[in-house]
Every structure is written in structure tokens, then in C-alpha cells.
Chains A and B, each alone.
Chain A
Amino acid sequence: MERETISVTVNGRAYERQVEPRRLLSDFLRDDLRLTGTHVGCEHGVCGACTVMMDGVTARSCLTFAVMADGAEIETIEGLGSVDAMHPVQRAFWEKHGLQCGFCTPGMLMTAVELLERNSDPSVDDIRDAISGNLCRCTGYQTIVDSIRYAAHLMREDGA
């Protein structure tokens, strides 16, 4: 199969690569760009571990072909923050123990960021609805919900 040339901006950095059309965005990010923070769980659109931002909204990178992202702006967990300068959502998950094994966490964080951009003071129901596309098999979700509520609090304080 013919390879296609695509130009993608990931976390503010422009990349140009040749990809097979069937290459998934998740594999492109992990294997071609070596951005392995985006995790691949179920690989068929159920678990949400591969969630990234595509042109400002969350998308499952395992249900998106890399060629479809040609010209798009992608944001992954690597772009969210660093150990020295954590995003408030990362800080909240750290402080409130919003993870155990951590496999679902990158997708969970991207989904939480999108929610908090739209709703600065979400209720528990809003949070549970927002993360319904992200599976966690460790926490029972309680500490994740706590973390996102705390992140909302931190972000409101930052903004105030």
C-alpha cells in the first residue's frame, strides 16, 4: 500500500512523517513519534486509555487513522505538564491518589482537562458522566472523581 505524507502538530511541535493509511493515530504517536504516554488498552474504542486532544476536543486515538490527523493539532499527556511544572489536574491526581496502576491515567487526565475547560465547577454526576468513556480497573473511580473535583478547585483558585 502506498504511504501517505502527513503533517501533524503534536504538543506544539510540527512533525512530518510517512505513514501507511491503516496506521492508527495511537500507534503513530507511540511508535513513530515515541510519545509513549498515550496508552493503548482495548484497541477498539472502549477503554479510553488512548484519549488525546485533536483540534481541541478529546478523541480516541485508537479509533482515528493517523492520516485523518493530517493538518491537525494534537495534544497528548506529554504536553500537559512536567514533573517540575504539573498541570493542576496532574497535581490533583497525585495529591488525591487518583490512580493505582496508572495505565488509564493519561486518558483519564485528557478527558478531565476537557471537562474542566467546559465546566469549572462540575458536580459528581457531571464528572462521572464525563469519564464514562474511560475505564479504570483499579480505583473503583472514587479517588478519580475526588481528584477531578480537587483539580476544579485548584483551577478556580489559580484563575481567581
Chain B
Amino acid sequence: MYPFTYHRPASLDDARARLAASEDGRPLAGGMSLIPTMRFRLSSCSDLVDLNAIDGLAGIERHEGGIRIGAMTRHAAVEASAEVREAIPALAALAGSIGDVQVRNRGTIGGSICFADPAADYPAGILGLGASVNTDRRSIAADDFFTGLYETALEDGELVVSVDFPVPERAGWAKFGNQASRFAVVAVMVSLAGGAVRLAVTGAKSHVFRVPEMEAALAADFSAEALEGIAVASEGLNEDLHADAAYRAHLVGVMAKRAVRAALAP
């Protein structure tokens, strides 16, 4: 691993100042993705600004409009949260399906969405539930946040502070996970809120995406049967030794139906 200078600011302002003053600084959250890439020398930085000592960045709040999850909230906390389990059980299920216990104890929601791994789970949760991402300078709608392979709408030095999830009438999570890594080969989050349906897929492309044909069919009839015959084209889907594009396209259909069934389960 290449050497770097370490910072452990106690406030968001201090973190911003240190990032701004560094030549090529990066924020460090749980480190579950960044540290392995640094170890492989796939990434390096002049300065690492550790966000773990900043008060107020972790926590789960239920309020009138929905649920706010602080950027440094660990996956294990979301998985175990009584508020999340009550309001959006599909989101607790998503958090509980990430990696393994050790990853869930350290990894954070903010870190996951900023890293924007094409097979990460949270991006589907953000997009499928229509969340908004609050940064130190603005709020970004889910539809605008994920822009490409490991790419987000964040500007240089912009820090995610929290994520706001509206509470849907129904939501369901279904994941076909890689048996070893538990990354999503394909996973789907579907939600129904005020007659509008959102269905987001992760693991299948360069970044998370919605499937408008499925959403329209589900808006008319929110049942797994309504998805019968709606296929996602395999063109442009990811291929690796775990699944080729045609198999991934098939899995999108299967996971979408399972997610709808999960959303309808009592």
C-alpha cells in the first residue's frame, strides 16, 4: 500500500477543510471497500480523512416524512433498527443481506453509496425507495445520484451527511447473492407509494437502474403475475464468471417477481 497522511477530524467543517487542503485526499468511512482497493494498489491518495470521529453523522431518526439515516450509520445498525424494521422492513432486509457480520459491523450507508460499486446493495435501496441523499451542500434525488460505474453526482470534496427515505405503502427486497462474497449478482428493490411504483436493479449493469416497463405494469396491477412476459434486454448487462448477460437478464425478471412477493407478504 502506498503511504498517506492520516487525519481524524472531529467536525464536518474540519473534515472539509482538510480535504480541501490536501493534494488528493479521500474521505474514509467504514473502509470495507476503500481499504481493500488501497491494499491492491488500485487506488491511492495523498491524505485519508477519517470520518469516524465526527459526532452526529451516525444514527437513525423517524420523523413525519420518513426515516433519516446518518451517513456513518453501520449496516448492522440499520439491520437491527426497530424504526427501520417497522417502517421499511425491506430496507432492514437489504442491510442484513450485505456481506457478512464483520462487514456489516463496520461498513456504512454513506460509504457504500459514495463508492457506488455496481454490485452493492444500497444503491438499489436508494433508487428503489426514492430516497434523497443529503450532502454538506445540497440534497440530491436518487434518480440523479448514481451516474456510472463507481461514479456519482458528488462534486470534489462533497460529503454525504445523511439519506432520507420516504415510507412506502409496500416495499420488497430480493437478492441473488454471490455465494462467496455476498455481493449482488442481481438484486431488486421494489416499492409502492401513492400509486407510483419504483423498481431498481443492482448488480446487472455498470450502475443501478430502474425498469420503467415493470414499473408501469406494477402500477396497474401490483402482483408478481403482472411481470409475466416482461423481459429485460441482455445487451449491455454485466458478464463475469458468475453469470453471463443472458442469465443476468433472466435473474432480473426472477428477482423482480420475488421482490414483489416479498412486498406483498404479510
Q: Assess the A22–B4 pair: CB atoms within 8 A.
A: yes
| Chain B residues in 8 Å Cβ range of A65 | 6, 31, 35, 48
Per the CB 8 Å criterion, the residue count for chain B at the interface is 28
Whether a CB of chain B sits under 8 angstroms from the CB of A152 is no
- A66 to chain B minimum Cβ distance, whole angstroms, is 10
Contact string against A for B residues 148-162, beta-carbon threshold 8 Å, 1 for contact and 0 otherwise = 000000000000000
- B1 to chain A minimum Cβ distance, whole angstroms, is 5
Which of A22, A44, A48 has the most chain B CB within a 10 Å cutoff? A22
Q: How far is the CA of A57 from the CA of B77 in the complex (A)?
A: 12
Known: A21-B48, A43-B39, A132-B182. A60 touches B102 (CB 8 A): yes
Known: A22-B3, A44-B36, A70-B8. A64 touches B101 (CB 8 A): no
Q: How far is the CA of A56 from the CA of B5 in the complex (A)?
A: 28
| Chain B residues in 8 Å Cβ range of A74 | none
Say which residue of A45, A46, A57, A130 sits within 8 Å of B35 (CB atoms). Answer: A45
Known: A58-B102, A68-B50. A21 touches B6 (CB 8 A): yes
Label chain A's interface by main secondary structure.
mixed
A-side interface size class:
20 to 34
| Chain B residues in 8 Å Cβ range of A133 | 99-103
| Chain B residues in 8 Å Cβ range of A134 | 100
Q: Assess the B5–A1 pair: CB atoms within 8 A.
A: yes
Contact string against A for B residues 38-51, beta-carbon threshold 8 Å, 1 for contact and 0 otherwise = 01100000001010
How many residue pairs at the A-B interface have CB separations less than 8 Å?
73
Q: How far is the CA of A59 from the CA of B75 in the complex (A)?
A: 13
Q: Which residue of A lies closest to B38 (CB)?
A: A22
Q: Assess the B8–A63 pair: CB atoms within 8 A.
A: no
Residues on B facing A (Cβ under 8 Å): 1-6, 8, 28, 31-32, 35-36, 39-40, 48, 50, 52, 76, 99-103, 105-106, 180-182
Residues on A facing B (Cβ under 8 Å): 1-2, 4, 20-22, 43-46, 48, 51, 57-60, 63-65, 67-68, 70, 111, 114-115, 130, 132-134
Sample 21 A-B pairs with CB under 8 A, ordered by A number: A1-B5, A20-B3, A21-B3, A21-B5, A21-B6, A22-B3, A22-B4, A44-B36, A45-B103, A58-B102, A58-B105, A60-B102, A60-B103, A64-B31, A68-B28, A68-B50, A111-B101, A114-B101, A115-B101, A130-B101, A132-B101
Known: A21-B6, A22-B4, A67-B6. 11 other contacts (CB 8 A): A1-B4, A1-B5, A22-B3, A43-B39, A44-B39, A48-B100, A58-B102, A58-B105, A64-B31, A68-B52, A133-B100
